[in-house]
Amino acid sequence: MEAHSDPDHLDNPEILHTPELLSPASSNSGDEVMESYSGPPPKTLVNEKNYITLTEGCPSSLTVEELSAVVDQCKDLVMKTSECSEERRWLVRRLIELRYQLQEARDNQEQLAEIGEEVADTRVQLGHHFRMESLILTANRMICDQCCAIIMTVIQSWYQCIDCQYKCHIKCLPYVCRVCPHLLASEISHYEENICPEIGLKAQGYACAECKTDLIFSLKKDSSIVQQLSVLKECVLPVTSAAASRWSSSGDPRRCDYTGLYYCGRCHWNQAAVIPARVARNWDFGPRPVSQAAHRLLQLTQARPIMQIDARIEGFVNDICEVKKVRGELIMMKQYLIRCRNAKQEQLPWSLLKQHQYFLQDCEQYSLRDLIELHSGELITTLKDIRKEFSKHIKVKCTICSGQGYICEVCADDKNIVFPFDSTAYNCSKCRWVYHKTCFQSIHTCSRCIRIEKRKSKDAETEDNVCEEAVELDDDFARK
């Protein structure tokens, strides 16, 4: 503890990267959200007094009283920073972790009082909530996401994030450098809009975007690695035999098609995923290789409605127009169902939509899973079945809903009731009255709108006459 407060440590940037003083985030993936939570604390925040608050990362290293003081100190730092600044954003993240650690310390203290032994099987790091897993016998081989070695589940325990299922050995926990994708998924409001952004290794400092391992593409095979590296003019690090050994054994850098960043083989396992930008712009559902972090992020956000389709694609894909039409009809049906007590007993419309409940809000938002199902034809079939059930309740089963239909003013056929969501219906954009399409084509003008305009003009004339009479009375009174 005394070493942490020594001002000499503030001049040494390597202190912030040691496992004993693990900062809340120590990776930099290049993504805009990841960058704001990666690396050491902002230099403008670090000083002698708050160094422990900003860098202490071991949840069991401080007592409840010490953690409470650190939480209060971090809260004061948050209030002193300017709004919407990177410093405040970093401190708010740190404050959340400190409060979680404080609660864990209190829980452990209570358990110690009850059972007389320490129970410290949960760790908070980079947004992960690591929990100690017991020894199990499984046929599936488990791989450590940090070192890529096999986890011997029969003879050793390991940590697993309860949010993103990141797995690692106990010895690998201090070296985890990936921000929890579950945390990132809770913050993003849209996917990367560009198709495989052009960033380049030079912008990354010739290092892996996640673990910072040195990266370089394979060169000529007939000369040694050191000789090849010695002639590179843009090499940012001095060439050593150790660095050459790492470069020669790590393989070529692997590019993530989602972020456009380069990764080493430990952080990029060549797992393929559907890229949202390629779907939204080119209607391309071909899987592309992505990094482990991006792969998990896409999995966690696959069901979130945060995508919009390029309007130019709608003219080439008929299914998109059909889905938008059906979704518009479902939104009109919702107005009947949410006011019907019989539908409420049947839990309509929500019971049939299940994971697609946002379809009743607008016709533009989609999730990545929706578009995949739309491409396969599954989504349009599901929506048509739901529309059929809604229509059956409104027109046939429920007397309350069926009594709220419209009688066409042109044909006045009370036996052929029309509803706004019918394919044969025409909805007036001004007064919202409903006609049969074939009937409206014979008049081309809404008769109800004409009556409303006549009534308004008549009321306006009456109001003018009243005003004129009032003025005359005032004049007569003034003359008297």
What is the predicted pLDDT for the residue at 346?
Answer: 86
Confidence at residue 53, expressed as pLDDT on a 0 to 100 scale:
55
Q: Which two tokens stand for residue 283?
A: 């209607």
Element (H, E) at 73: helix 64-80
Question: pLDDT value at position 468?
Answer: 62
- Which pLDDT band holds residue 316 (cuts at 50, 70, 90)? confident
Distance from C-alpha of 292 to C-alpha of 271, rounded to nearest angstrom: 7
Average pLDDT over residues 246-263: 78
At 301 the pLDDT is 94
Residue 347 CA from chain centroid, whole number: 28
Looking at residue 415, what is its pLDDT? Answer: 82
Dump pLDDT digits (tens) for 29-75: 334 433 444 455 665 665 545 555 555 444 444 678 888 888 888 88
Distance CA 188, CA 67 (A): 30
The H or E element spanning position 427 is strand 425-427
- Residue 397 DSSP symbol: I
On the question of a cis peptide bond just before residue 349, with omega within 30 degrees of 0, the verdict is: yes
List % helix, strand, coil for the chain (3-state, nearest 5): 45, 10, 45
207: β partners:
214
CA-nearest of 245, 143, 253, 273 to 209 is 253
Give dist(CA 339, CA 227) in Å, integer: 78
Task: Please give the pLDDT value at position 118.
Answer: 37
Q: Flag whether the pTM goes above 0.85.
A: no
- The rounded percent of the chain whose pLDDT value lies above 70 is 72
In the chain, what is the greatest distance between 2 CA atoms, to the nearest angstrom? 119
User: What's the CA gap between 377 and 186, in Å, rounded?
Assistant: 29
- Please report the pLDDT score of residue 272 as a whole number: 96
What integer pLDDT is reported at residue 457 of this predicted model?
83
Query: Residue 325 belongs to what H/E stretch?
Result: helix 318-337
Which pLDDT score, from 0 to 100, does residue 381 have? 93
Instruction: For residues 193-205, give the mean pLDDT.
Output: 90
Q: Higher-confidence residue: 311 or 44? A: 311
% of the chain with per-residue pLDDT over 90: 30
Give the amino acid at 293: A
Q: Residue 237 pLDDT more than 70? A: no
- The answer to whether the beta carbons of residues 280 and 308 sit under 8 Å apart is yes
Q: What is the pLDDT of residue 30?
A: 37
CA–CA separation, 475 and 470 (whole Å): 9
Task: Note the pLDDT of residue 475.
Answer: 58
pLDDT tens, position by position, 361-414: 888 899 999 999 999 999 999 999 999 999 999 998 888 998 888 888 888 888
Q: For position 236, what pLDDT does the model report?
A: 44
Q: Which of 163, 165, 169, 125 is nearest to 147 (CA)?
A: 169
C-alpha closest to that of 48 among 12, 94, 14, 4 = 4
Q: Which of 226-240, 246-260, 409-423 has the highest mean pLDDT?
A: 409-423
Task: Answer for the pair 414, 406: CB distance below 8 angstroms, yes or no.
Answer: no
Sign of the torsion formed by the C-alpha atoms of 294, 298, 299 and 300: positive
Check pLDDT > 60 for residue 160.
yes
Residues 6+ positions from 404 with CB-CB distance below 8 Å: 336
- At position 121, the amino acid (one-letter code) is D
Region of poorest pLDDT, from 116-120, 163-167, 286-290, 435-439: 116-120
CA-to-CA dists, residue 30 to 7, 226, 435, angstroms:
31, 29, 56
- 238 has a pLDDT exceeding 90: no
Strands 150-151 and 142-143: antiparallel
For 278-294, the pLDDT digits (tens) are 999 999 999 999 999 99
Output the average pLDDT for the chain. Answer: 77
- Of 101, 122, 94, which is closest to residue 25 (Cα–Cα)? 94
Structure confidence by residue, pLDDT tens digits, 324-346: 999 999 999 999 999 899 988 88
Whose CA is closest to 38, among 243, 189, 183? 183
> CB–CB of 290/256 below 8 Å?
yes
Q: Does 250 or 129 have the greater pLDDT score?
A: 129
Indicate if the pLDDT at residue 347 is higher than 70: yes
Burial class (CB in 10 A: 0-12, 13-18, 19+), 73: middle
Please report the pLDDT score of residue 26 as a whole number.
36
- The answer to whether residue 417 scores a pLDDT higher than 60 is yes
- Looking at the DSSP assignment, which residues form a beta bridge with residue 123? 130
Phi, psi torsion values for 360, nearest 5 degrees: -85, 5
> Which token pair is 74?
């971090």
Estimate the crossing angle of helix 368-376 against helix 378-392, to 10 degrees: 90
> What pLDDT does residue 46 have?
56
